[in-house]
Amino acid sequence: MAVIYPGSFDPVTYGHLDIIKRASKKFDKVIVTILNNPSKKALFDVQKRVELLENTTKHLDNIVIDSFSGLLVDYAKKNDVSTIIKGLRAISDFEYEFQMAHTNTMLDENIETIFLMTSNKYSFLSSSVVKEISKFDGDVSKLVPEIVEYNLNKKFRGDI
């Protein structure tokens, strides 16, 4: 079975990679797809986010990296996939994810969302936290792969 793992991935973190790795063991194919949302200001453009995801998942052979705009249910239908994977970090994620999962099923009754609990190690981690730390010159080496750290440094300091 193929599943879709959607998100902003701005940028990809070890938390996302944990979900991708675990999903890749359970499902035949995992389509990691980045929302291209021009109204939300992202740090990295979609092309760079695709590049970082491709680079950090290249050791897994059943992962496809893609991007989409518009409704997720339309993207799922176009790709003939009816299962969405999301990571759940903490109770605070639940309300938002609950709303999204039900909205998606309301829009398309074939859509089912499966949640994977993020490992304890990454339960506090988000792309926003990573950006905040890196912006103020903090160490993000335990939170993101080296190539992501490199690109964060380049973005915020342009000194490399």
Q: Strands, DSSP E only, in 95-154?
A: 112-117
| In contact, 67 and 45? CB cutoff 8 Å | no
How distant, in Å, are the alpha carbons of 43, 51, 128, 139, 140 from that of 132? 11, 22, 6, 11, 10
Structure tokens belonging to residue 12? 């990809």
25, 39, 40, 142: the catalytic one is: 40
The C-alpha angle 6, 27, 21, rounded to 5 degrees, equals 65
Return all residues near 124 (Cβ < 8 A) that are at least 6 apart. 89, 90
By CB under 6 A, residue 7 contacts ligand PNS: yes
By CB under 6 A, residue 24 contacts ligand PNS: no
Question: Using the rule CB under 6 A, which residue among 3, 4, 6, 111 binds ligand PNS?
Answer: 6
Which residue, 13 or 24, is less far from ligand PNS as judged by CB?
A: 13
Question: Using the rule CB under 6 A, which residue among 8, 113, 118, 134 binds ligand PNS?
Answer: 8
> Among the candidate windows 20-28, 99-107, 130-138, 142-150, which touches ligand PNS by CB under 6 A?
99-107
Question: Using the rule CB under 6 A, which residue among 12, 30, 35, 85 binds ligand PNS?
Answer: 35
Smallest separation (angstroms) from ligand PNS to the CB of 123: 15
CA distance 51 to 65: 9
By CB under 6 A, residue 103 contacts ligand PNS: yes
Residues that bind ligand PNS (CB under 6 A): 6-8, 35, 71-72, 100, 103-104
Give catalytic residues, as residue numbers: 16, 40, 89, 127
